[in-house]
Structure 1
Amino acid sequence: MKKILILSTALCGFAASAQADITVMGWGGAYANSQIEAYFKPFTAATGKKVVSVDSDNPATPVKSQVEANNVTIDVAVLEIADAVRLCDEGALVPFDFSALPNGADGTGAEDDFIAGTLTECMIPTDIFSTVVAYDASKFPDAPPTSIADFFDLEKFPGKRGIRKNAKTTLEMALMADGVPAAEVYALLETDEGVDRAFAKLDTIKKDAVFWEAGAQPPQLLADGEVVMTTAYNGRIFNAVQLESKPFAIVWDGQVFEWEGMAIPKGAPNEADALELIHFATASEQLAKAAEFISYGPPRKSSASLVGNIQGKEEPMGPNLPTDPANMTNALGSSLDFWVDRDIQLNERFNAWLASN
């Protein structure tokens, strides 16, 4: 078995290992570790092919510059969905044949096994993260919040609320809190009536709102007692609970989920091996294994029952994942097409709303 070489380098040095069969550029940190343990080491054990893991602040940037320079050294890039669609449209990524992907562990064909909407022409998803409502459980010991509507109920659950300073996810969650089913949110937000309704719902908690911009802020707002409830990224809350023993909990009702995955830059030096690695990594078992290292959910439905305990603990990871069946009963997949068309317009409206009395 060949040894996996793990590098964490500046961008100028990521081509340093000429011996590598496959170079994967990802996000580093705990995220990269989950992929090394669940994908790369088992792949090397199974095939004897080496994998080099290199880090980037955003892999989309070097992918674009390398393809444009016709000097591609990356075989696989881990991309957010918006970047993958944009680079695909620009012709910088290799399209996939979905029919060649392995079936799910339960025999379901790949196109039916992946959560609807997550498979895109040039990217195979590896994980799902979400914006959720989180709260300080010590503030509600007897009757904690259980729904997205509770986030807006200041009478039953008094206290300040943390809200992302952006229209995206905020408007969707406002409509779901106002009783709109997840499946109908975007159709309604395409209308003036729907936008007005979302802002009217936000008006009901505006005087008690604290606005955040960076993902590290919501758990800090909760820890400092500045808010009792906040919208937040699920992974940030999970880490605060697991690593810092914070008394925080998540309301999964009304979550808005997004995803990222693996893509092959056009001109990748080892395209065939890169495709083999992606097929291996996005099988049900490997996706489930990665989820044990980090609280991002596997995008295959057949992976849910395969997820074990949190690494190093006797505690199941499943309930902490956006894709756990119990957490998906009223979940909304973020619509890339919707926000590409309306991001500027709705954020101008959002900023005007912030500035108004």
Structure 2
Amino acid sequence: MESLEVGRALRPSAATASESYGSPDGYPPLRRSLALRLAERAIHAEPGGVLLTSGANHALDLVIRQFVAPGEPVLVDSPGYYPLFGKLRLAKARILGVRRNPDGPDIAHLDEVARRSGARLFFTQSLAHNPTGCSLTLPVGHRLLQRAAALDLRIVECDPFADVLPAAQARLAALDQLERVIYVGTFAKTLSASLRCGYVAARADVTAALRDLKMVTSVNSSGFVERIVHDLIESGRYRRHLRRLGGRIEAASLQGRAVLAGLGLPVFGEPRGGYYLWCGLPEATDLDVLSRRAAARGILIAPGGLFLPEGPAGPPMMRVNIAHAGDPRFARFMREEVGGAA
């Protein structure tokens, strides 16, 4: 990602920012802009149904505080987003994994686990999934919402790469129109990880409850940051930035897949649009040893066990970030460790 567009926006946004606390819902013009962007994805959300947060992790934290009681069973993707697991453990939830297939959650497994546990909440990432990079298909999304209705299951859908993915891709929030789906977005993956700005789109009663919780726990999100993001969107600079970023993601993904193919490491599914590839390793691979050896060489390996709520299980897997997959130091290290032709 580039810092150029952010740097250009800092001064005018900071100069026009008010020193008051501002609206607890977040900067109103940005909320209106987000409602329009959501409409492009066929998600109808009034500005009153959009709550700004200090990033997606803040949004997830608010949802967990509002809807998860100690000891309550909660469904998550397996593999899935491991920082979410930490938040749920902090809330003393009982975390239950739902197998993730290349085309989305395994519906039969979700049905089985939900019925057995009585879970009423499912956290998932439909598109450019972390860590697999794969995306939900329309038929799986339709079946998932059918089962959710039968099970009275609320779904929290995180969509951090939405702005570099096609607007028409299958999203649960679009299929459901925010009836039982809480939709979480962020600018961290497409603009800057240090500009903590995210949002929740949901039914008005849900966002009202989350707004009250936000006021109690953090008072407000940053009006300065929200003005910067709004300026970037309204000036058109954000769209130009996204076009460049999308091209870079595609090129890096193709290069990463070529490197892994040369190493003889199979990639899970057909990842596209995000930053991650999920690849298999030889059966005899000790992931702890591999990670330590990599760290000694200045390489951070994300072992598959981190992304499984039940802990390391099954064949060894590894998440690869496409931004670094083409680095010759990575390919050289992996060739020494696991062999391959590259």
Provide the TM-score with structure 2 as the length reference.
Answer: 0.29
Higher helix share: 2
